[in-house]
Chains A and B, each alone.
Chain A
Amino acid sequence: MTKVEFTNLDKVLYPEANVTKAQVIQHYVRMAPRMLGILKNRPMVLTRFPDGVDKQGFYEKDMPLGTPSWVKTFKKHSESAGREINYIVCNDLDTLVWLANLAALELHMTLSKTDKFEKPDLLVFDADPEPPASIDEVVDVALMLKEKLDDLNLKSYVKTSGKKGLHVLVPIVPEYTFNQTRECVHQIGRHLALESSLVASEVSKPKKPGTVYIDYRQNSHGRTMVCPYSLRATPHATVSMPLDWGDVKKGLKPEEYTLSAVAKSESNPWKGMLENKQKLEKRVD
């Protein structure tokens, strides 16, 4: 059924939630039909926790030693690493299962694809609360953002980050550079910040208490975002969960989207997203 040889299936990776590696693999297998479309041809960065989330994990950009020959990789020079990196590309169920078996709990993906690596096909707005702001404020800001994007005639898609915030994505034609998409996301953030004191559009240190920061900097070459349906390395095995905009309202509790809670979910709020490639021209004044 799979090319992957499972190892240590009964190992507990989330001690507090008592989640084993078998359950982690099962989670990714269940989510695969909804994940594989968006993962296709996107270089991945893994966060691995071979000894569980309460122990030290590590980032992995380069393909690990012992990567089977059937796993697709993408060779690219990495500025930060200063050398050639062979990124993992997850185009099939076997690769996804293999990643899960590596205890790669968090899967992160680039915003562009291997065939046009310099031209992203996604805009991402990463909205994060700065206490005492909470998810309630993030919901408010996300809804303002959606309205703004609707005005610009851009259809947007939303997911929980799996932690405290929300990610809003806009699929686009891969014709713009990262400089252009980053500038676009930044500008929309600035517009919102002018309209609401709740929104912070600029990096500031320390962060302004009680605001929601819309991070635009992920829209950069080689940067990644956590994949939809990816687990997070949180004590309760939360998931970065795609939502219907209708579910983004007061009372939303991102921490309730845990591995066991989403196991039964079958809906696909992002259906048709990848076919909906939008142009940005004349939309931002």
Chain B
Amino acid sequence: MEEEPMEETNARIPKRPFWSGAVTIGLVNVPVKLYSMTFDKAFSFRFLHKQDGQPLKYQKVCVKDNAVVPWEDTVKGYEVSKNRFIVFQKEELDAARPQSSQKIRIDKFVDYLSIDPIYFERSYVLTPDKSNEAYSLLLTSLQKTHKAGAGRITLRTKEYPVLLHAYKGAMVLTTLRYAYEISDPNNLEELKRLKEPEKKELDLAVKIINDLSGEFDITEYKDTYEERIRKLIAKKLKGETIVAEKPVKEEAKELMATLQETLNQLKKQ
């Protein structure tokens, strides 16, 4: 946990690069550093022991005798059917892993807008490493052509399909999901029996859509839970006690309004 709660606006860029290597296009190398750009959630909590506030750790416990099993005594198992496993030694899995090459290999350039966003997974900002010129040249040519480089990267032990594209004056790498990671909606039975709409109804629906059309602005959407938690953290840092407040019932509404009035009055005294 950071010393201070997150700022109201965007999640920040971490201080240290996450990866460094080079974008390779044929024989050309553009050295880059990678920073995380997307964050799954603003806050993460740790579990503590209620009695003494000490952090808790996870242990692997055998389901048969509840004994704690140390790391070196574990292997991985693939569950073929209920409680039947195929066992893999660590070495067997390691041998199957792709080699980490410190390279973002670009195979071809595609029209960025033609790629279905359903494949997009996580985004990383690229910054130039040592040479500014090569980076700038690649960025400017992507901006000019509205194209994105399609290729692959190995992060840790997994290879990902990636897109290299321009975004707000930077080169951004977005990892993509594999085709097998996305299900085809046409496999759902309900969708195979859709009826053609009546023309009159369709015209009306289209009209409604047109009436409600506008520019998309992500800042119109607020994560209210995140905002409340951030405020609570700020209060707790100042040493204020937090009182769990239940949702106010109808008969308590007037009471709460009076309470607020009195609190304001007492503040003035």
- Tell me if chain B binds chain A: yes
Interface residues of A (CB under 8 A from B): 1-3, 5-6, 9-10, 20, 22, 25-26, 29-30, 32-33, 36, 93, 97
Q: Interface size class for chain B?
A: 10 to 19
CB of B22 to closest CB in A, whole Å: 58
Q: Is the pair B262, A32 in contact by a Cβ cutoff of 8 Å?
A: yes
**Residue in contact with A33 in the complex, picked from B243, B259, B262, CB distance below 8 Å:** B262
The A-contacting residues of B in range 239-269, CB under 8 angstroms, are 241, 243, 245-246, 249, 251-252, 254-256, 258-263, 265-266, 269
Q: How far is the CA of A25 from the CA of B261 in the complex (A)?
A: 14
Q: Which of A2, A3, A32, A97 contacts B266 (CB 8 A)?
A: A32
* Contact between B246 and A5, CB atoms less than 8 A apart: yes
Chain B nearest CB, measured from A112 CB (Å): 24
With A and B bound together, what is the CA distance between A26 and B258 in angstroms?
Answer: 7
User: 15 A–B contact pairs at CB < 8 A?
Assistant: A1-B245, A1-B260, A9-B249, A22-B252, A26-B255, A26-B258, A29-B255, A29-B262, A30-B258, A30-B261, A32-B266, A33-B262, A33-B265, A33-B266, A36-B266
B255 contacts across to A, CB distance below 8 A:
6, 9, 22, 25-26, 29
Cross-chain contact A33 with B258 (CB below 8 angstroms): no
B258 touching A3, Cβ below 8 Å: no
- Chain A residues contacting B243 (CB-CB under 8 Å) are 2-3
Residues of chain B with a CB closer than 8 A to A3's CB:
241, 243
Given contacts A9-B252, A20-B251, A36-B266, 12 further A-B contacts (CB under 8 A): A1-B263, A3-B241, A5-B246, A25-B255, A26-B255, A29-B258, A30-B262, A33-B262, A33-B265, A93-B259, A93-B266, A97-B259
Residue pair A33, B269 in contact (C-beta under 8 Å):
yes
Beta-carbon contact of B260 and A26 below 8 Å: no
Query: A22 to B254, Cβ gap below 8 A?
Result: yes
Picked from B252, B258, B261, the residue with its CB within 8 Å of the CB of A6 is B252
The answer to whether A29 and B259 touch (CB under 8 A), given A1-B245, A5-B246, A93-B266, is: yes
Which residues of the other chain, A, contact B265 by a CB distance below 8 angstroms? 33
| Nearest opposing residue in chain A for B257, CB measure | A26
CA–CA, A124 and B175, complex, Å? 82
A-B complex: 3 closest residue pairs judged by Cβ atoms: A33-B265, A26-B255, A29-B258
Closest residue of chain B to A100, judged by CB? B255
For A97, list chain B residues within 8 Å (CB).
Answer: 259
Interface pair B246/A9, CB less than 8 Å apart: no
Chain B 153-164 interface 0/1 with A at a Cβ cutoff of 8 Å (1 = within)? 000000000000
Q: In the complex, what's the smallest C-beta–C-beta distance from B12 to chain A, in angstroms? A: 33
Smallest CB separation, B253 vs chain A (Å): 10
Query: In this complex, what residue of B is CB-closest to A30?
Result: B258
Considering the chains assembled together, what is the distance between the CA atoms of A9 and B266 in angstroms?
Answer: 24
A93 and B258 CA atoms in complex are apart in Å by: 12
A1:B259 contact, CB within 8 angstroms: yes
The complex places the Cα of A20 from the Cα of B252 at a distance, in Å, of: 11
Are the CB atoms of A10 and B266 closer together than 8 Å? no
Q: Is the CB of B256 within 8 A of A1?
A: yes
Contact between chains at B263 and A93 (CB < 8 Å): yes
A10 — which chain B residues lie within 8 A by C-beta? 251
A41 to B241, alpha carbons, bound, how many Å?
A: 23
Distance, CA A26 to CA B262, complexed state (A): 10
Distance in Å: Cβ of A20 to nearest Cβ of chain B: 7
When C-beta atoms are compared, the residue in chain B nearest to A96 turns out to be B262
- Who on chain A is nearest to B254 by CB? A26
Complex formed: what's the CA distance from A30 to B257 in Å? Answer: 10
Contacts of B260 in A (CB 8 A): 1
Return chain B residues, CB-CB under 8 Å to A9: 249, 251-252, 255
Residues on B with C-beta less than 8 A from A29 are 255, 258-259, 262
Task: Enumerate chain B residues within 8 angstroms of A32, measured Cβ to Cβ.
Answer: 262, 266
Question: Which residues of the other chain, A, contact B252 by a CB distance below 8 angstroms?
Answer: 6, 9, 22
Please report the C-alpha to C-alpha distance between residue A242 and residue B25 in the assembled complex, in whole angstroms.
Answer: 88
